[in-house]
Structure 1
Amino acid sequence: MKALRRQSLTRAIQLSLLLSLPGIAAAQDAAAPAQPGSATTLDTVTVTGSRIKQTNVVTAQPVYVLDRSKIEATGLQSVGDLLQQLSSSGKALNAKFNSSGNFGYPPDGGGIGAGSAQVDLRNLGSQRTLVLVDGVRWVNESSASGVSGSADLNTIPLAIVERIEVLEDGASAIYGSDAIAGVVNIITRRKFDGAEVHAYYGEYEDGGETTEASLTIGGSGERWSGIFTASYFEQQEISSGSWEQSRFPTPGTGVRGGSSGIPQGRFFFCDPTRPTTGVGGCDADTENWYDVTLNNGTTTPVFDPTNPNGGTYNQFDLSDRFNFAPYNFLLTPSKRKSIFASATYDLSDDVRLHVKGLYNNRTSTNQAAPEPIFVGPGAGTGGIADTISIHQDNPFNPFGYTLDANSNLLVVTRRPVEVGPRIFHQDVDTTYFNIGLDGTFGIGDRTLGWDANYAHSENKATQEFLNGYNVAKMKLALGDPAICALVAGCTPLDLFGGQGRPMTQDQIDYIRTRQIDSSKQVLDLFQGNITGDLFDIGDRTAGFAAGVEHRRYRGDFNPDPLRQTGESQDSFAAPVSASYEVDEIYTEFSFPVLASLDLSAAIRYSDYSTFGNETTGKVGFRWQPIEDVVVRGTYSTGFRAPNLGELFGLTQFGATLVDPCGSTGRPGPASPDLAAGCAAQGAPPNFVQANTQITTFTGGNPDLQPETSDSWTFGVVYAPSWGTDQAWSDRLDFEVGYYNIEIEDAIQARDLQALLETCLREGGVNSINCTPFTRGAGGNLNPPNNFLDNLGSIKTDGVDIKANWAGPEWSWGRLNASLQSTYVNDYEAVDVDGNRSQREVGIEVDDSAIPEWQTNVQLGWTRGDFNAGWTVRYISSVKEDCDNVPVAGAPGCLGDTEFNELGSTTFNDAQFNWSNAFTEGLKLTVGVNNIFGKEPPVCLTCSLNGYDAGTYDLPGAFWYVSADYRF
């Protein structure tokens, strides 16, 4: 009787979770509902998080699943967009990010990932979320700017997806490295009879048209089945100039206060010919240092050394800074073409051959304002540009003496808008091939299942960069004209004429260059698994799974030769060509120790060619104390091996540092607690930071060790019998789960902003926290080094809440509702020196926020062939530190205000569809996401478009229509 009651609850929860709006897991694998009054025999299924086939969909570990109906209800056409709307999701790359290397490359060696889409669970970074396709690891992305440790979800077309299972728990003991924050398992369509045509069109208020089309054909026979899908996706761009918030870089719009690289030119130098009362004509403390720019409308510069602000020049100030914003993209354009095929053939009654393959091509584009030219030590590149002097005989030099990088020059800048914007084109090819066998065999009265797979996946990319400059040629063109005349094609360069005297075509052609970067990642994988029953414990069975896996990773990054030699005006980057291998063995057990209690355990041994071996384990329980309640929990240890980019990458990054000693719109003196440190470093009291993009040398570390983690979860699932088969409710369930994750030896670079402020508080010199920082001419920071290391710890915990309800069939239709909500209680990252990262719950920093609450609510109505849905997505308020806002007087940070608040935001989506419209098999859908056109909150510290593109939607509503015809 107890077994029947337990089976009854299991079935009720299965139906509730599988058939309610978010419910979804493995519906096609579950047994058909039993007839009233009959006994129920449950099929075994495999659920992400365990390789043991089992009858319990509500397992010890929390799994959230999206089936095709739920996916279609969102109106989204990208796997990445879907996953980034999860309440447990953090910031990850998507098409709203428009950086392609003009800021440089982050320290993890993974590059910018331009045009890719990633997933980040628990705000721990995409590199700590493992992506599987049909239970097999997916290749990491390469967008021609590095060797990444994250998967690009744009390589997986939505048309091939049957469902997506999200394990919201650590799973290194089951799947190996990278599964610290969780696992995303994308299940492809396996069996399909007939043909289906899908067409989609959508558009934002400001443009950004999106079209998608796919064709799926499938069939099956007595011993075989096959499916083929071809799909096409195109998303057009939206210019940043189309939205007021991203069009003007003035205080309060969310974009930093413009750039000091201006079309009129900025000239920060000293006149060595003027007498002074100091020791020398150009000592740092003399009055002969000028920071001037040309007046607007100037055609012929006239400089008066007795009055630097006279003639055609004026003192450079905030009003002169360049508005780069309209040249950027608010939404980057992208095209994707793909084909996918999958087939199975029964070689015998017990053995099946399976084969699948995919080819996906993505082309995408990013754009930035015309490349600014910075020469002189104030350029702060750490390369050739810092050493450039402008010869007195340069025919365009209006000052009559050499601007010498070793004595009287800080920086000369000029942004030649006549060259046109920087354009970055990515072309990415992904291929995947999987072949294997699976089957069953018997030992006594036990039946065991097994599978063996070989998978080869490859992601290779090129990026073409247009309208960049060759710095070595600039140095020659700005030097002695007599030497320039000896070099074929060399033309003296004019940095002094401003917009009134544009560069000539000959000048542009000599310094302009086209750069090609490329990268490739390859994953070869051999895998074998076995699972089945061990023995009976009462009326239930103990199960096990075991397996072995071998993986070989290869990664190559080939930056353009100009980047490698430092001759590119854009960022320096070094090539990477490396590989490593992994051998693993695991085993997993499940024991029903009591009539209401199941225990599980897993252990995995991993041997890496790079650092050695690692062993991880996991234990869990599932307890059903009464018929309506399941209590579950897990404890696991995990690890993440350093990837190839983290081990061997070497690049530069234009870190957007706010110098506390004096920044744009906030000249010195520094605040009292930092003033002594600024003075000790050589920053004068009236110092103004020349450029917020302070180049940082970043890169990998071949001595890195793996990160390790401890995580545990505890949850309760309640499916009340009083909410099942009632007049007001057909199904009802609730779930509350707690998670806690601690990472040690976290692989990261230091938080330079926090480190610089700590250094200055400690006196500015002779402190371990000051090691990366030195200052050059005028007090400007020299490029610091900030390489990766196993630097510290990350801790986070929170609560997930889920609820599902489906009403009975009324005469006017059927209603359903669901809720998914995540509360983040704490997030803390501390490095080995005790410096705490600025990134915390409720804080906006580095274009990334961790909201305390994220909640999604779906409401649905169905009657016959008609369906309507309404979705509400809520993001709680966050705040940003006004000390990180470099523009004084920005609204929200006036006076002594410590934080600017980004208010809570709610997006509303609506959809209506009609099945069998006009003819059988035709489904028509119309919908609007962000139906009320809610705009994201203004972010004063965010770069480029002035809002957090990883947390919020684009401004304005997005409407779409689609048609699906199956025959």
Structure 2
Amino acid sequence: MLKENLFKLSMVAVALSGITAANSASAQDEAKDEKVVITGSRIRQSQLAGASPVLTLTREDLEKTGLTSLADVLQKMATSGAALNTRFNSSGNFGMPSDGGGVGAGGAEVDLRHLGSRRVLVLVDGRRWVSGASASGVSGAVDLNTIPMAIVDRVEVLEDGASSLYGSDAVAGVINIITRKDIDGWEMNASYGGFGDFIGAIDDGDTSTIEFTFGAVGARHSIVSSFSHVDQNVVFSKNRSLADTPLEGTGNTRGSSATPTGRFLFDDNGTTINVTPNTGATGLLDYPNDFHGFTDADRFNYAAYNLYVTPSERTNVFTRAKYDLTNTVSFFAQAMFNNRQSKNQAAPEPIFIGPEAGTGGIADTVSIDISNPYNPFGVTLDENNFIFAGRRPVEAGPRSYEQDVNTYFFTTGFEGSFDLADNPYFWDVSMSWGTNRATQLKTGALNAARIKMALGPLATCQADPLCVPLNIFGENSITQEMLDYISFTQKDVSENKIQMFSANITGDLFEMPAGYAGFAAGYEHRVQSGFFEPDVVAASGESMGIPASPTRGGYDVDEYYVEARFPLLADSDGMSALEVTTAARRSEYTTTSNVSFDQTTTKFGVLWRPMNELTIRGTVAEGFRAPSIGEFFNTGARNDATLTDPCLTAANQTRCEQVWGPMDFQALANLGQTQISVVTGGNDQLNPEETESTTFGAVFSPDWFSGDDFIEQMNFEFTMYDHEIDQAIGAVDAQLQLNECVINGRDDFCNGIARANGIGITRFDNGLQNLSKIKTSGSDFKLSMITSEGDLGRFRLTWNNSFVNEYTQEVFGQSSGDLDGIEFGSNPDRAIPEWKFDLTLDWSKNNWSASTTVRYLSKIYESCSDFLDDTPSSLANLGLCSNPNFNNNGASYNIMDETYYFDAQVGYTMELGGYDTLISVGARNLFDQDPPLCTQCDLNGYLPGIYDPQGRYWYVKFTLRP
């Protein structure tokens, strides 16, 4: 099909070139110069305010941030929510998200309006970009680390729903990345920076970049080529006070129960034994003399092995060429290759074994046989008396997850213009191919099947020439020979592909009293596919880590759209302008499992300019998000959820025994289980998410300052927004499901919850559903001002604010309540500040330039409760809650205070060696503001999608041009 379309593409170009060659295009050339396509509309029009709000970030805006990742820039926008970046160190050791997309280790994404990165459409030069590949699933979001800063001319951010123009995913907004074109000459950029007290004393996290861009423009052709390399080095959690323990101020009490000496729980004739070997005990241990009762002080500090900023090395090559076949028809081609080498790290993989290990796999069936030469207990620990054991094999060193990600994207096509009935028309046809393929190697992985054999009957182990009996009792008890037998290197691979054919046309339909009616129409055929192939050991369930299941599938879609703009009034009845726009798009999907569905979305907009200085605008839009490949076809994703077991409460225990039979509540209390294996799977019967979005606002550009000696231009912009998502895709929250089953007595919620031997929960099984509704509303305020060039130079001020008025989620009729200003209890790395702003003041005079930015985040509330509530080591009793409740620790909460960040940059332009040279020196987080402590976050003690990392970051940049 796509090859046929490629042939058709060339035939359409030839046919249209015949039409256009016969027309005189001089008048239309002027129109072409004056009118452009702006994100949010496919109709060429003047660069005036449209009906939808669009934020434009120029290349100058990008460069003055000093950042080396496009995602880092976009995540600092006032309208951005928490999204994946290189400060997330999770590689799946806590489990996989339910959407089958994997954890995206080493990737970076963007979130608008806090609706999630899957609900943001990312375009490059107006074309859909390929989704990321994380080597742990099939993602439904774009990895912005595949798009280097070096090739970006500007970024247009549509802060409105736009499925009627662009199709699926354009729910919260659209990010359109416009690449550099028409460069004649060359340019070289280099930078170096890192964390430290001042620029000459970089301590860690140093990052270097080199970019070279070349362009040539001729009478009929243009070409741009770019090479860039970014090398971002690591920051270790142990080197940050906020992250060197599982939670600052708690010591090891929130550490792992799998310790370097081992923790063992078993039943001794009705008495629960909970012991760990004494530190320093060596040789064959004697029980009970070499053991003591396990306490929270014995827990293991896994945080010391974690990474605070993950290393990432990215290399990119980009080329774009254009050739004018005639005066009105051009051929273009664009190609890009990007490679990312990145790494995550975690503490040595724990050995959790026994019926209550909660892995849901082989490890739950492991026994420690009496014949094991290292067993100190003199009995076989099996399902009759064994509860669980946890051993942290520090002898093996940390788990390392190394990602190798290759992205290829190629586009070719024709574009041109022609006249028909004295009206100008512009068209383009193109083909695109994109592939994102990731391989991840995990070293330090353990084989549960081999651990079972090595701890089992000695005769069985000796019958296998490779087997080495395993000693998990005591410090440094595991030898290299033992590790060689139970360890393996896990290799996982994932891929996303996209192939597209598109044809578009725009122009003027007919003349109206107030101007020409404009239109745009087009067709797109798209094929998307993806797969995730886990390592054979992990897929078989034999690994000690999170098990993985393969995913493979895809879909093809045919889409048709039309958009029209009608100018109704112009310079009449006291109105400067009044126009309406409307758009509709039809999307028809067929999946590889032969499931078909279609979606039609519409949009209506009004723009009223009652005077030249004031524009009032509004939009009403329908939208949708088709399920991702991971959501459709994932065969199983496991996540270890932190839960509070209601069966620990006496009032619920009768109900618990009704559901699961006789239970040992004392053993459950001794277990202290806080993480439960939750397994979710894809669902090829999912329906698309459906959305309704509205915006209303005004742009005021007063001409009071015309001719003013100081202020040259000033703009005020205000926008109110509202998004409602129905049939949002997700899995039932495990805590909600457990509470509904036990506390509210709903039997239908008990399905899929398993317990072992009447004690702890060993497994949750649930699948993805269209189960929830999300609603958010708020407002944005923007102020910009530019001064005239004066004795003090020229100043530019921009102030971007975003306010969240409401954010709610509803599942099965139960509302979450308003979540704005709240850290999500069920999503520990997400939070929604009620108010965010960035205020930037730029200055330039002669060869000097400077910029300073203030970023603000309002306070965030979070629960301040965990599994040690009502003990001396509770968060409240340790003084970590801003608002503790000492009578009921579970009711305590914490406020993450409002936070300000200050960034600054100074630049000087001079001639150096015959080249124009710009030298810039800057600092991010100039005043070394620490992120506020987050008591509920998974890693590193703060919200990495909201706040900057701990430390001041200095950098220097050089730009050379001939």
Length-normalised TM-score, structure 2: 0.91
State the distance in 1 between where 2:656 and 2:948 align. 40
Contact 1:234 1:336 in 2 (8 A): yes
Establish whether residue 787 from structure 1 lines up as the match of residue 778 from structure 2: no
Establish whether residue 626 from structure 1 lines up as the match of residue 622 from structure 2: no
Establish whether residue 508 from structure 1 lines up as the match of residue 483 from structure 2: yes
Contact 2:252 2:299 in 1 (8 A): no
Establish whether residue 467 from structure 1 lines up as the match of residue 461 from structure 2: no
Unpaired stretches in structure 2, ≥5 consecutive residues: 1-29, 197-202, 571-576
Residues 723/311 of structure 1: CA separation in 2 closer, same or farther (3 Å cut): farther
| Deviation digits for residues 90-109 of structure 1 (CA, Å, limit 9, x no counterpart) | 11110000111212211101
Aligned length: 898
Contact 1:717 1:734 in 2 (8 A): yes
Shift of 1:831: 1.3
Contact 1:180 1:638 in 2 (8 A): yes
| Deviation digits for residues 199-219 of structure 1 (CA, Å, limit 9, x no counterpart) | 000101341010000110111
Letter in 2 for 1:907: Y
**What's 2:18 paired with?**
none
Shift of 1:294: 1.1
Residues 243/748 of structure 1: CA separation in 2 closer, same or farther (3 Å cut): same
Equivalent residue in structure 1 for 2:849, among 861, 864, 867: 867
State the distance in 2 between where 1:300 and 1:631 align. 80
Write out aligned runs for 1:543-692 (5 A): 543-595=518-570, 596-610=577-591, 611-661=596-646, 669=649, 682=663, 684=665, 687-692=669-674
State the distance in 2 between where 1:835 and 1:677 align. 25
State the distance in 2 between where 1:709 and 1:383 align. 39
**What's 1:243 paired with?**
240
Shift of 1:779: 2.4
**What's 2:36 paired with?**
45
Establish whether residue 940 from structure 1 lines up as the match of residue 935 from structure 2: yes
State the distance in 1 between where 2:42 and 2:418 align. 17
State the distance in 2 between where 1:301 and 1:828 align. 58
Contact 2:252 2:297 in 1 (8 A): no
State the distance in 1 between where 2:688 and 2:146 align. 27
The worse-fitting range, judged by mean Cα deviation, of 853-862 and 543-552 is 853-862
Letter in 1 for 2:174: V
**What's 1:298 paired with?**
281
Write out aligned runs for 1:322-333 (5 A): 322-333=300-311
Equivalent residue in structure 2 for 1:900, among 886, 891, 894: 894
**What's 1:274 paired with?**
none
Contact 1:165 1:185 in 2 (8 A): yes
Residues 719/254 of structure 1: CA separation in 2 closer, same or farther (3 Å cut): farther
Shift of 1:724: 3.9
Contact 2:710 2:790 in 1 (8 A): no
| Deviation digits for residues 103-125 of structure 1 (CA, Å, limit 9, x no counterpart) | 22111010011000001111111
Equivalent residue in structure 2 for 1:383, among 343, 346, 361: 361
The worse-fitting range, judged by mean Cα deviation, of 446-455 and 779-788 is 779-788
**What's 1:909 paired with?**
903
Establish whether residue 121 from structure 1 lines up as the match of residue 112 from structure 2: yes
**What's 2:8 paired with?**
none
Letter in 1 for 2:580: L
Counterpart secondary structure, 1:784: strand
Counterpart secondary structure, 1:915: strand
State the distance in 1 between where 2:331 and 2:868 align. 62
| Deviation digits for residues 557-588 of structure 1 (CA, Å, limit 9, x no counterpart) | 11000111101111111212212100000000
| Deviation digits for residues 776-820 of structure 1 (CA, Å, limit 9, x no counterpart) | 246211210132110110000110110001122221212221100
**What's 1:739 paired with?**
721
Counterpart secondary structure, 2:224: strand
Residues 197/849 of structure 1: CA separation in 2 closer, same or farther (3 Å cut): same
Establish whether residue 443 from structure 1 lines up as the match of residue 420 from structure 2: yes
Residues 954/560 of structure 1: CA separation in 2 closer, same or farther (3 Å cut): same
Letter in 1 for 2:585: R
Residues 346/928 of structure 1: CA separation in 2 closer, same or farther (3 Å cut): same
**What's 2:387 paired with?**
410
Establish whether residue 953 from structure 1 lines up as the match of residue 941 from structure 2: no
**What's 1:427 paired with?**
404
Equivalent residue in structure 1 for 2:345, among 363, 367, 371: 367
Counterpart secondary structure, 2:181: coil
Shift of 1:491: 0.8
Letter in 2 for 1:711: S
Contact 2:549 2:637 in 1 (8 A): no
The worse-fitting range, judged by mean Cα deviation, of 199-208 and 849-858 is 199-208
**What's 1:257 paired with?**
254
Residues 293/657 of structure 1: CA separation in 2 closer, same or farther (3 Å cut): same
State the distance in 1 between where 2:160 and 2:672 align. 46
Residues 56/338 of structure 1: CA separation in 2 closer, same or farther (3 Å cut): closer
Shift of 1:752: 1.8
State the distance in 2 between where 1:186 and 1:689 align. 52
Establish whether residue 481 from structure 1 lines up as the match of residue 488 from structure 2: no
| Deviation digits for residues 915-943 of structure 1 (CA, Å, limit 9, x no counterpart) | 23545511110000000111100111101
Equivalent residue in structure 1 for 2:155, among 161, 164, 167: 164
**What's 1:879 paired with?**
861
Counterpart secondary structure, 2:762: coil
**What's 2:957 paired with?**
962
Shift of 1:775: 2.6
| Deviation digits for residues 676-700 of structure 1 (CA, Å, limit 9, x no counterpart) | 6567664626715544332111221
Identity %: 42
Shift of 1:769: 3.2
**What's 2:319 paired with?**
341
Establish whether residue 812 from structure 1 lines up as the match of residue 792 from structure 2: yes
Letter in 2 for 1:111: G
Letter in 2 for 1:449: F
**What's 1:16 paired with?**
none
Equivalent residue in structure 1 for 2:172, among 181, 190, 196: 181
State the distance in 2 between where 1:254 and 1:210 align. 32
| Deviation digits for residues 536-568 of structure 1 (CA, Å, limit 9, x no counterpart) | 112411100000000001101110001111011
| Deviation digits for residues 52-94 of structure 1 (CA, Å, limit 9, x no counterpart) | 0001431000000101111111111111001100111111110
The worse-fitting range, judged by mean Cα deviation, of 648-657 and 739-748 is 648-657
Establish whether residue 90 from structure 1 lines up as the match of residue 78 from structure 2: no
Letter in 1 for 2:370: Q
Counterpart secondary structure, 2:711: coil
Letter in 2 for 1:552: V
The worse-fitting range, judged by mean Cα deviation, of 501-510 and 429-438 is 501-510
Counterpart secondary structure, 1:792: strand
State the distance in 1 between where 2:31 and 2:300 align. 71
Contact 1:858 1:871 in 2 (8 A): yes
Residues 679/951 of structure 1: CA separation in 2 closer, same or farther (3 Å cut): farther
**What's 1:34 paired with?**
none
| Deviation digits for residues 361-388 of structure 1 (CA, Å, limit 9, x no counterpart) | 0000000001110111111111111111
Equivalent residue in structure 1 for 2:731, among 739, 749, 754: 749
State the distance in 2 between where 1:251 and 1:503 align. 31
Contact 2:247 2:940 in 1 (8 A): no
Unpaired stretches in structure 1, ≥5 consecutive residues: 1-38, 272-280, 305-309, 663-667
Residues 153/70 of structure 1: CA separation in 2 closer, same or farther (3 Å cut): same
**What's 1:24 paired with?**
none
